[in-house]
Structure 1
Amino acid sequence: MELQPHFALMASYNQWMNAKVYEAASKLTAAELTQERSAFFGSMFGTLNHIAVADTIWLKRFATHPSSTARTLAVMIDLPTPERLDQVMFDDLAGLKAHRRWLDTVIINWVAALTDDDLSTTLSYHNTKGVASKRRYSSLILHFFNHQTHHRGQVSTLLSQAGVDVGVTDLLALIPDEG
């Protein structure tokens, strides 16, 4: 089974949903976005920030993969590596949104370059606590997209509770009808 088309779909979904979530979030004040709401990362802003932090960490790891497609992630190498999963990357939604759009473009370009040979290999890395791991590359990419979806779902729930509708969030909206 070819995995790359599935990851390309996930990259498109990621970009589409991030645009929708950030558009919805922009309807709230800074105080509403940073209000403690008992989410894993406290607030909507804290959760959006965490997604960007985690994506940065994973993309920097993926950039170390020995495949030629890792070169598409060379732009990640010089970025500072977040030290904590809740490290604040930007002080405001505008800065975080601009970084998010940039990350999503990096992700789209990287995934477009992936090959099935790349996906069948492993990646050695250290987690944020320094624990070494060696795992199947395709499974790590699946985790990468699943993590985004998990936390974006939390943000969409918090937005809904704040009276802001994100709209359709189903992946199904991007799957072409083969009719």
Structure 2
Amino acid sequence: MSRIRPICLMATYNEWMNAKIYEAARSLPDDELSADRKAFFGSILGTLNHLVAGDTVWLQRFARHPANHLALQPILQRPTPTSLDQLLYANIRELSAQRVWLDQMIVEWSRSIAESDLDHVLSYASMKGVPADKDFYGLVMHFFNHQTHHRGQVTTLLSQAGVDVGDTDLVILIPSGHTP
């Protein structure tokens, strides 16, 4: 069974869900988005910034994979966040533009991955400088799981602010019927 299909599905789901969340978030004024809601990253804006910071760090690591995925090369030109709670963008408009750029890159990258790329062990250092050697496929799964985890937090924070994101289930994007 191909591991590429689920990766592409998760990239598409990621893009779809982020578009929904950002549309919902833009319905709130800036002070509501940055209000401390006692979440792990404080606010809606803080949590969305965390996702952009985390995605940037992981995509920069993935860009150093020996397969040299061209879709990821532009991320190497961006500064590496210094922490995962760094407020990279102070408003939803700037953050949204970065999110769209990242999501397009993630979808393009997912379509460029070869099955053999997933069997690689990726060497990198944590943000604290601790070296790691991890299964690349497992890291890709972590990447998408991390996004889903924090988007769940954001949908809760938006709901508490009176904004309904709507359907969020992956099953909506799973094609019907059998595909070879």
User: Is the counterpart of residue 67 in structure 1 residue 56 in structure 2?
Assistant: no
Gaps of 5+ in 1: none
Gaps of 5+ in 2: none
- Counterpart CA distance in 1 for 2:31 and 2:77 is 32
User: Is the counterpart of residue 46 in structure 1 residue 59 in structure 2?
Assistant: no
- Counterpart CA distance in 1 for 2:2 and 2:61 is 23
Q: How does 1:121-160 map to 2 (within 5 A)?
A: 121-160=120-159
Q: TM-score when scaled to structure 2?
A: 0.97
- Deviation sequence 1:27-47 (CA, Å, 0-9, x none): 101110011111110000000
Aligned to 1:91: 90
Where 1:54 maps in the other structure, the secondary structure is: helix
Aligned to 1:8: 8
Aligned to 2:101: 102
Q: How does 1:2-41 map to 2 (within 5 A)?
A: 2-41=2-41
Where 2:123 maps in the other structure, the secondary structure is: strand
1:91, distance to aligned residue in structure 2 (A)? 1.4
Q: Percent identity?
A: 52
- Counterpart CA distance in 1 for 2:116 and 2:166 is 37
- Counterpart CA distance in 2 for 1:149 and 1:39 is 16
Letter in 2 for 1:55: D
- Counterpart CA distance in 1 for 2:171 and 2:140 is 20
Letter in 1 for 2:21: V
- Counterpart CA distance in 2 for 1:133 and 1:67 is 19
- Counterpart CA distance in 2 for 1:177 and 1:108 is 21
1:71, distance to aligned residue in structure 2 (A)? 2.4
1:171, distance to aligned residue in structure 2 (A)? 0.2
- Counterpart CA distance in 2 for 1:172 and 1:47 is 24
- Counterpart CA distance in 1 for 2:71 and 2:38 is 37
User: Is the counterpart of residue 173 in structure 1 residue 158 in structure 2?
Assistant: no
Where 1:125 maps in the other structure, the secondary structure is: strand
1:145, distance to aligned residue in structure 2 (A)? 0.3
Aligned to 1:162: 161
Q: TM-score when scaled to structure 1?
A: 0.98
- Counterpart CA distance in 2 for 1:20 and 1:176 is 20
